[in-house]
């Protein structure tokens, strides 16, 4: 059974911001490829919620990878997965682990 994927408002805003950045710096096609990869990752995550490593932020929060430059943090709940936010890996780390 696949879990439902829900994006927080922050996650949605950050995802759109990253896509806009990619489009402005490279091209619309590159931004589209990034979004395609993101949604394919979300589809896999719905079926395999524990496929990414646990974080030390909070129990049930895990860190997923979209690209070398982009990670996302998510929380597994009983019937759904909450995408908390996306993170540009070139920024200062939020925490170690």
pLDDT along the chain (97 residues), means of 10: 95 95 96 98 97 88 95 95 91 53
d(CA 54, CA 74): 10
For position 93, what pLDDT does the model report?
54
For position 88, what pLDDT does the model report?
83
For position 94, what pLDDT does the model report?
53
CATH architecture of the domain covering 4-88: 2-Layer Sandwich (3.30)
For position 51, what pLDDT does the model report?
96
pTM as predicted:
0.89
Residues present in the chain in total:
97
d(CA 3, CA 18): 25
For position 46, what pLDDT does the model report?
97
For position 97, what pLDDT does the model report?
46
């Amino acid at each position: 059974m696949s879990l439902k994927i829900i994006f927080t408002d922050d996650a949605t805003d950050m995802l759109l911001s990253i896509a806009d950045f990619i489009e402005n710096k490279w091209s619309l096609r590159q931004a589209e490829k990034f979004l395609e990869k993101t949604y394919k990752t979300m589809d896999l995550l719905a079926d395999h919620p524990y496929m990414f490593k646990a974080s030390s932020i909070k129990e049930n929060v895990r860190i997923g990878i979209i690209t070398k430059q982009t990670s996302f943090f998510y929380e597994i709940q009983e019937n759904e997965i909450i995408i908390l936010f996306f993170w540009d890996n070139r920024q200062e780390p939020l925490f170690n682990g």
